[in-house]
Amino acid sequence: MIKILLAALAATLTSCVMPVNTHSTAPNTQLWQQHLEQVKNINRWDIRGRVSIQTRDDGGPADLFWQQTGNENFDIKLVAPFGGGTLRLQGQPVGVLLTTSDGEQMMATSADDLVEQMHGWRFPVSGLRYWLLGMPAPSSEAKLISWNDQGLLYVMHQDGWRIEMRKYKTVGDLTLPEKLFISRLDEEEVDVRLIVREWNFGH
């Protein structure tokens, strides 16, 4: 039964996406610049979504709850189904605290490093904080690969990750990614499929 449910989740994360026409350069550079201006200073939100993480040796789905209350302040919960456990990441300027459902805790300067120390694979928290807004992280160089018909980013490479913004949705006055497919560019096998179901700003 669990395998059937996991298969159903995978189908949900990968289906219902119409083919997208892509362009090697932004067909509407004015819209792209306008989008960057709209989202570059957003640093407070609540997100609810669904994520599926697959590595070489492990994988599975989880509910995602992400509260961002500043550029370096966040509270992220990954809750696995069927009592599979909870992973919580709490970030502040002094560092990031990881807490498991068993009460085990670790602290480091980077959330990405913490997940790798705990599980042996990377989860791109630092970059995802910006990719969720449909923009590259400003801390490192990004290679912008393709754009959709509306002039919004479709595929980019950054920090060893390939980020594909499969589908966008309207959130108030903004257009933000709804489905993201993220994978490693090197030989490390990590694939992340993420659906954002709900955005709330300003809390």
Query: What is the mean pLDDT of each successive set of 10 residues along the chain, which is 203 residues long?
Result: 35 49 80 93 95 87 95 93 86 92 90 83 88 95 93 95 96 95 91 96 70
- Residue-level pLDDT at 10: 43
What sign does the CA torsion over 167, 131, 189, 107 have?
negative
- The answer to pTM > 0.75 is yes
The CATH fold of domain 22-201: outer membrane lipoprotein receptor (LolB), chain A (2.50.20)
Q: Collapsing DSSP states into helix, strand and coil, what is residue 136?
A: coil
d(CA 193, CA 52): 5
Return phi, psi of residue 138, to 5°.
-75, -10
- Residue-level pLDDT at 6: 35
What ranges make up the beta strands (E) of 33-141?
A: 44-55, 59-69, 74-79, 86-92, 95-100, 105-108
Task: Report the 10 Å Cβ neighbour count for 3.
Answer: 7
Helix residue spans in 74-122 (DSSP H): 111-119
- Residue-level pLDDT at 202: 67
Hey, where are the domains in the chain?
Answer: 22-201
- Residue-level pLDDT at 203: 53
Q: Collapsing DSSP states into helix, strand and coil, what is residue 42?
A: coil
Buried b (16+ CB within 10 A) or exposed e, 138-172: eeeebebebbbeebbbbbbebbebbbbbbbbeeee
* 182 burial level (CB within 10 Å; 0-12, 13-18, 19+): buried
- Residue-level pLDDT at 153: 95
- Residue-level pLDDT at 3: 36
